[in-house]
Amino acid sequence: MSSLNCSRLTMISLVLFVLIIGSANAQLSTSFYSSSCPKLSSTVQSTVQSAISNEARMGASILRLFFHDCFVNGCDGSILLDDTSNFTGEKNANPNRNSARGFDVIDNIKTAVENVCPGVVSCADILAIAAADSVAILGGPTWNVKLGRRDAKTASQSAANTAIPAPTSNLNTLTSMFSAVGLSSKDLVTLSGAHTIGQARCTTFRARIYNETNIDTSFASTRQSNCPNTSGSGDNNLAPLDLQTPTSFDNNYFKNLVQNKGLLHSDQQLFNGGSTNSIVSGYSTNPSSFSSDFATAMIKMGDISPLTGSNGEIRKNCRKPN
């Protein structure tokens, strides 16, 4: 074979390699639906705004759904699936049972989106957009959401039970679980700042407010008034993750940690003499730094193992495979 033919073959192989790598890494795009569904952004935003106007807590609930989706086999909309005869889904896994909420809002968004561009937009992308809208509506940062995810056809309760960090986790466990999905210890602290909004159930913080010593005593007393020490009593009673402004996306979460007023054990672990103390301290005094880093970290989390191209599907109903 001539050297010219060899060089041509080499060039063709190189081009194919670049195309394959490109298709694997460059599927998500902020303009993915710009021509196929130009009204997508406004359609999602108006439905999210309506839901939050009806109940301010819903913004935190939708944001949490996106976290819990991405941590289990990637951002593929699997958390939205109901159980079927073929699989047991994620909704009744330990981190989600009696606490994951907002599924009806996602259904409403899907219905609205299907009305303007049927069969085009995935439930996984709808969840990603809704999470970003929730943060913005509650006063947090904005970012351009990368899109082009497709929906999983299955879900795994066992994966959800093992992949989502528990509120009882210590810093080493949190760091390793975030690392397992490609997120750094800085991302861990930044994304934990989502706990500046929302509520937690008594059962998730009972052990902390009665048994731990790295907690402000008056804060512990306040929380004990609505969370009895006896297991099974008041388990579902709610407390704000951020005592000051539970429906405003700000940096008070980090101010609370510096004062030993983190509600969850996993929260206070971020400021407990360990490697992440300095990041928490920085965010507690620099809200703009937290805002910009949070937007960056959310984009990074949204890149976790998406289904793209011919993988997965575009579900007609977010609760069940086609």
Q: Which of these, 261, 264, 211, 201, lies nearest to 233 by C-alpha position?
A: 201
Question: Does 74 carry a binding-site annotation?
Answer: yes
H or E segment to which residue 308 belongs: none
Backbone angles phi, psi at 201, to 5 degrees: -85, 145
Gap between the Cα atoms of 194 and 70, Å rounded:
15
Question: Does 187 carry a binding-site annotation?
Answer: no
Beta strand pairing call for 199-201 and 238-240: antiparallel
Which residue's entry shows tokens 């109903």? 317
Beta strands in 166-313 (DSSP E): 199-201, 238-240
Q: Is 68 part of the annotated catalytic residue set?
A: yes
Q: Which two tokens stand for residue 177?
A: 């679980």
Catalytic residue among 68, 91, 150, 255: 68
Cα 310 from chain centroid? Answer: 24
Question: Does 265 carry a binding-site annotation?
Answer: no
Question: Does 303 carry a binding-site annotation?
Answer: no
Question: Does 141 carry a binding-site annotation?
Answer: no
Backbone angles phi, psi at 200, to 5 degrees: -130, 155
Residues 6 or more apart whose Cβ sits within 8 Å of residue 14: none
Question: Does 296 carry a binding-site annotation?
Answer: no
Question: Does 242 carry a binding-site annotation?
Answer: yes
Question: Does 245 carry a binding-site annotation?
Answer: yes
Under a CB-based contact definition with an 8 Å cutoff, are residues 275 and 289 in contact?
no
Residues with active-site annotation: 68
Binding region for Ca(2+): 69, 72, 74, 76, 78, 90, 196, 242, 245, 250
Binding region for heme b: 195
Binding region for substrate: 165
Binding region: 69, 72, 74, 76, 78, 90, 165, 195-196, 242, 245, 250
